[in-house]
Chain A
Amino acid sequence: MRLKALALAAAAAALTATPALAQYTDGGIKIGVMNDQSGLYADLSGQGSVWAARRAIADYCKTTKCHDKIEVVFADHQNKPDVGSTTVRQWFDVDNVDVVVDVPTSSVALAVHNIVREKNKVMLNSGAASSDLTGKACSPNTVHWTYDTWALANGTGNAIVKTGGDTWFFLTADYAFGHALERDTAAVVEKSGGKVVGKVRHPFPGQDFSSFLLQAQQSKAKIIGLANAGGDTTNSIKQAAEFGIVQGGQKLAGLLVFITDVHALSLQTAQGLILTEAWYWDQTDANRAFSADFEKANKGNKPTMVQAGVYSAVYHYLKAVHELKADGDGAAVVAKMKSMPTEDALFGKGQIRADGRKIHDMYLFEVKAPKESKGAWDYYKLRATIPAAEAFRPMDQGDCPLVKK
């Protein structure tokens, strides 16, 4: 298998030989998109992320002459850390994958994160949320691209406490992501003078949330913070409407809501929800053009911030690798990525910090009422822009060992 791959690589290298001999392992760059292809996060990452990675390669090679073989492979981690770990080991040991992209589901991301470091490869994480990836677990081989629990908490949590929502009850998905989101939001709430009056941790994935919602209702908290994602969030919101939670005077805070979730809920149910995102399709002409193409290839769906983040991350990775002319030493590639400012059509200008955190503006949106919406997927109105410098956790508060104090 390995011999065959080498032979193929040699053949490919011979065909595409360039004057300046680049040191690419396996004769080219192999990008592995790993995410949920079949479960509750498949729409917000899934094949859309694979499409975005391919699009980034196409766009990059339009402006720069790409001599090298660049290939995209993908796999389904089924939201299970063991499946993710096995796949990524096979990718590195057998298939010569150089970089793992996307990896939603924090528990899987943290497992893959350790293997990537051990094998000195690269992970460009767009899908996972846990801020631990650039906190105490940070690694010289990982860049956390799109968003994290701290940024979500900071955006949504702050905005809600400021408008009077000062007592909170958390409905938390019982795994790494939910715990991190709950912890970061509780910190923001308490820092702004609010109080956490209770919490309940539900199994992941859940189906019926009525029991937990009833507990939230009895807590008399003004805000019910949903520290979950995907189908768990849509089910919680749908059932909260059914149980008259909002009519009863309590408000819901969706701490991680993707545009695909709003689509699944319909505006009728989701209207008024406040949420934080890194990217929205209807913000700039470049975003709209990207989304129009995305829509054609992905059953009429608009891209999520995760998928846009995959595009942006792969684009910057290619830049760094072409500059280095080598992709074998993962830590060196990430160091190069950190040393160059980022710039692409979707995320504009930005940078990657020493702890691996990519920073850019974040946006606080409110979901439109049905009558405000002008057409399909016209869902958000902008409430505030959180500048890059304030949107993410300050480096000195993350306890990342890579950061010199």
Chain B
Amino acid sequence: MFELIGVPPQALFGQLLLGLINGAFYALLSLGLAVIFGMLNVINFAHGAQYMMGAFGAWMMLTYLGIPYWGALLLVPIVIGALGILLERLFLARLYHLDHLYGLLLTFGLALIFEGLFRRQYGSSGLPYTNPIPGGTNLGFMFLPWYRGWVIIVSIVVCLATWFMIEKTKLGSYLRAATENPTLVRAFGINVPRMMTLTYGFGVGLAALAGVLAAPIYSVNPIMGSNLIIVVFAVVVIGGMGSIMGSILTGFGLGIIEGLTKVFYPEASNTVIFVIMAIVLMIRPAGLFGTPR
């Protein structure tokens, strides 16, 4: 703790802000996972691969079709989301009556296949993607690139909109009801399987959106998702599996904690989230915002 004194407050503000930006990615990704788990009871291990496909999608649209970043931001989540819908119809829908483990194994296998295919085609060292909003502003305590500011704004808006849709709208209430008791909801004439398909597509689309957002700042390579996904799973577990607001708040919160670790003890910055996860699981096994099922 002595080092706290060694770090000037400006530096600390800078690191907090950076942590918040990384947290924005965690929040977006864990939100998708939480939505999918909450509605479908599927642990979507392909989430990292779908994030990677989002980034590659942006690169492909630019390279092959000439569609710039702003177009990709809208189109890629739709395309990858549609791909997710296809996956759900072809494979996942057949596993709902089985244990979670089968869904996990299936999606994990799919993730490995996707990564392998992309590695085969594009290699492992990554592809360049130009930053659409270069430059930035000096905040006094740090230089904030415009693009990172944009990432935070998009992430917060998307997270809140999703939360609002699921918790406060009629559609959301159907979704939540279908999770609680699908048979009863079906009796009211609501097409539950279609709703689940669309939910999976939406969750996958969120992952792809995070991927497009990541393309200009992280190296676009086939393993970019697998590096991130384990952390994101920890975020979801800490927040409480299936809790929407929980995963958003934990995503941002853990981004900040990780950011601070990078200042005080950088070597531990990869592990700190898992230490927190272990502690949370010991004290609150259902996660910080979860309700025991």
B145 touches A207 (CB 8 A): no
Binds A, one of B10-18, B34-42, B183-191: B10-18
- Cα–Cα, bound, A238→B145 (Å): 13
* B219→A231 contact, CB < 8 A: yes
Q: Given A43-B124, A43-B125, A207-B224, are A238 and B136 neighbors across the interface (CB < 8 Å)? A: no
Determine the chain B residues whose CB is within 8 A of the CB of A372 once the complex forms: none
Nearest neighbor of B144 in chain A, beta-carbon distance: A243
8 Å CB contacts to B: which residues of A228-266? Answer: 230-231, 234-235, 238-239, 241-244, 248, 260-261, 263-266
Chain B contacts of A217 at CB under 8 A? 143
User: Is B128 part of the contact surface with A, judged by Cβ < 8 Å?
Assistant: yes
* Distance from A217 Cβ to chain B, minimum over Cβ atoms (Å): 7
**Nearest CB on B from A246, distance (A):** 12
Is there an interface contact between B143 and A243, defined as CB atoms closer than 8 Å? yes
Across-interface contacts of B147 in A (CB, < 8 A): 242
**Interface check B291, CB cutoff 8 A:** no
A205 at the interface (CB under 8 A from B): yes
> Nearest chain-B residue to A261 (Cβ)?
B125
In the bound complex, CA of A264 to CA of B125 (Å)? 6
Contacts of B123 in A (CB 8 A): 42-43, 260, 299, 301
Q: Is A121 in contact with chain B by the CB < 8 A criterion?
A: no
The answer to whether B125 touches A263, judged by C-beta atoms less than 8 angstroms apart, is yes
- A47 nearest CB across to chain B (Å): 10
Interface centre among A40, A41, A260 (most CB of B within 10 A): A40
CA distance A248 to B145 in the complex (A): 13
Query: CB-CB < 8 A to A40: which residues of B?
Result: 124-125, 221, 223
Interface check A215, CB cutoff 8 A: yes
The distance from the CB of A368 to the nearest CB of chain B, in whole angstroms, is 15
Q: Convert A161-191 into 0s and 1s, putting 1 for each residue whose CB lies closer than 8 angstroms to a CB of B.
A: 0000000000000100000000000000000
Supposing A202-B269, A211-B259, A242-B131 touch, asked if A260 and B136 sit within 8 A by C-beta, the answer is: no
Query: Interface segment, B79-87, B94-102, B161-169, B260-268?
Result: B260-268
Residue of B nearest to A218 (CB): B11
**Interface flag for A25 (CB, 8 Å):** no
B207 to chain A, nearest CB (A): 16
Q: Tell me the chain A residues, 54-81 only, with Cβ under 8 Å from chain B.
A: none
**Interface pair B266/A212, CB less than 8 Å apart:** yes
Q: How far is the CA of A201 from the CA of B264 in the complex (A)?
A: 11
Contacts of B22 in A (CB 8 A): 208, 210
A264 to B122 CA separation, bound complex (whole angstroms): 11
Whether A234 and B126, one on each chain, are in contact in the complex, defined by CB atoms closer than 8 angstroms, is yes
- CB nearest to A248 among chain B residues: B143
- Of chain A, the residue at the smallest CB distance from B130 is A268
List chain B residues, Cβ under 8 A from A192. none
Is A90 part of the contact surface with B, judged by Cβ < 8 Å? no
When the two chains form the complex, which single residue of A203, A214, A244, A301 contacts B267, counting CB atoms closer than 8 Å? Answer: A203
Known: A43-B125, A244-B136. A203 touches B223 (CB 8 A): no
B269 contacts which of A44, A203, A265 (Cβ < 8 Å)? A203
Provide the residues of chain B in CB contact with A301, threshold 8 Å. 123
Q: Is the CB of A214 within 8 A of B15?
A: yes
Q: Is the CB of A39 within 8 A of B223?
A: yes
* Max chain B Cβ within 10 angstroms of own Cβ: one of A211, A243, A268: A211
Decide if A269 touches B143 in the complex (CB within 8 Å).
no
- Other than the given A41-B124, A202-B266, A244-B143, 8 more pairs (CB < 8 A) read A43-B123, A44-B125, A203-B270, A211-B19, A218-B14, A231-B219, A248-B143, A264-B126
Name the 4 nearest CB pairs between A and B, nearest first: A266-B128, A203-B270, A42-B124, A211-B262
Q: List 26 A-B contacts (CB under 8 A).
A: A38-B124, A40-B125, A43-B123, A44-B125, A201-B266, A201-B267, A202-B262, A202-B269, A205-B227, A211-B262, A212-B266, A214-B11, A214-B15, A214-B142, A215-B262, A217-B143, A235-B218, A241-B131, A242-B131, A242-B217, A244-B143, A244-B145, A260-B125, A261-B125, A268-B128, A269-B128
